[in-house]
Amino acid sequence: MDVLSAIKNRKSTRAFIDKQVLPLTISNVLDTARWAPSGANTQPWKVAVATGGTKTNLCLALTGAFESSNPSNADYNYYANPIEEPYRDRQRRCGAALYGALDISRQDKQQRRAQWLKNYFAFDAPVILFIFIDRNLEKGSWVDMGMFIQNIMLAARGHGLESCPQAALAEYPDIVRSHLSITDKQSLICGIALGYCNTTAPVNQYRTEREPVDSFTSWHS
């Protein structure tokens, strides 16, 4: 797969088939991703790979926290509060596309909740990559982390895998750190669901829109 196709056809996959990913394949994905650029080559990324029983127990713990109405204590704020236009409108349209693909109405709170709970099981992906960064690093290193995460998702496509980067898996970082024996000096950025796509699942049939180049680009010469 060429890099342009990998970028344009990547999407957040929310249903995976029951097929394990070989540890060597995961390692090869990370071996490619590690070539991401970083300021002064600081390479700030840390990755914890959760599979099998560890993944299952961790997902159950995250689900239990949510169902117990425990407030999220994420290590950072993902969204602005309040989120202003045009970002709020894009957020609404994204949600409408998701639930529309699943034929879940806005009024069906029960089915919407059931769909949300799937986040904490990484949509049944066999692998979760938890992405951490040292707390004492600054915003520049977080920019580096974004490039590393993108590299993971593109490299995964090169191995026939799909992925979904998930802020939801970082809502209860203390639970994640506890299950994975990660020091609290590490901030949890996100989890990445990784596996083989269920190509027939309705949730994988839609694509979100992207703004045209002219809407976000100004030219100066």
Encode pLDDT of 119-174 as tens digits. 999 999 999 999 999 999 999 999 999 999 999 999 999 999 999 999 999 999 99
The answer as to whether 91 is a domain residue is no
The answer as to whether 81 is a domain residue is no
The answer as to whether 100 is a domain residue is no
The answer as to whether 37 is a domain residue is yes
pLDDT at 136: 97
The answer as to whether 54 is a domain residue is yes
The answer as to whether 90 is a domain residue is no
Query: What is the pTM for the complete model shown?
Result: 0.96
The answer as to whether 195 is a domain residue is yes
DSSP annotation of 118 reads G
The answer as to whether 174 is a domain residue is yes
Nearest to 50 by CA among 174, 150, 176: 176
Give the integer Cα–Cα distance in Å for 130 and 149. Answer: 10
pLDDT at 98: 96
Give the integer Cα–Cα distance in Å for 171 and 188. Answer: 9
Taking residues 71-77, what's their average pLDDT? Answer: 96
Residue 42 is part of a domain; what is its CATH number? Answer: 3.40.109.10
Q: How many domains does the chain have?
A: 1
pLDDT at 1: 84
Find the domain containing 194 and state its range.
Answer: 3-76+120-208
The token pair at 125 is 């992906």
> Using 50, 70 and 90 to split pLDDT, how confident is the model at 72?
very high
Cβ within 8 Å of residue 208, ≥6 positions away: 11, 93, 94, 97
- The model's pLDDT over 174-200, given as tens digits with 9 standing for 90+, comes to 999 999 999 999 999 999 999 999 999
Say if residue 77's pLDDT is above 90.
yes
> Using 50, 70 and 90 to split pLDDT, how confident is the model at 61?
very high
- The model's pLDDT over 85-126, given as tens digits with 9 standing for 90+, comes to 999 999 999 999 999 999 999 999 999 999 999 999 999 999
Tell me the CA distances in angstroms from 175 to 44, 57, 140, 167, 170, one per residue in order: 22, 11, 27, 14, 9
